[in-house]
Structure 1
């Protein structure tokens, strides 16, 4: 296999399962997972804020 072929191979997608055994995971991969989970938490919080704002707006509208 040439170097070019190795560069074009898709990299393994980082994923994480809650409660998964972490003993066989490298420090680098743990860091990747932390980054992944932090991004997911931010995404969830953004959606939560959006839905709360929508609910509040609906509540204000229907109280009139």
Structure 2
């Protein structure tokens, strides 16, 4: 029943506000790429949600 608690937690690839002192330029570039991918994913989801809301609003306006 509590087997889920025994699983190892995935390592965070980046935490906002973390200390960057000991990261190499390559590691920083990897994190920048990761964050840019996440931004693109968030923007795509936002566009999809905004689009469906606009469709719903237009449907109710036309009646």
1:62 CA displacement: 1.2
Change (3 A) 1:14 1:30: farther
What TM-score comes out, normalization by structure 1 length?
A: 0.75
1:30 counterpart residue number: 28
Per-residue CA deviations over 1:44-63 (Å, capped at 9, x if unaligned) read: 00000000000000001111
What TM-score comes out, normalization by structure 2 length?
A: 0.76
5+ unaligned residues in a row in structure 2: which ranges?
1-10
2:4 counterpart residue number: none
5+ unaligned residues in a row in structure 1: which ranges?
1-12
CA RMSD of aligned residues (A): 1.4
Runs of 4+ with >6 A deviation: none
1:42 counterpart residue number: 40
1:26 CA displacement: 1.1
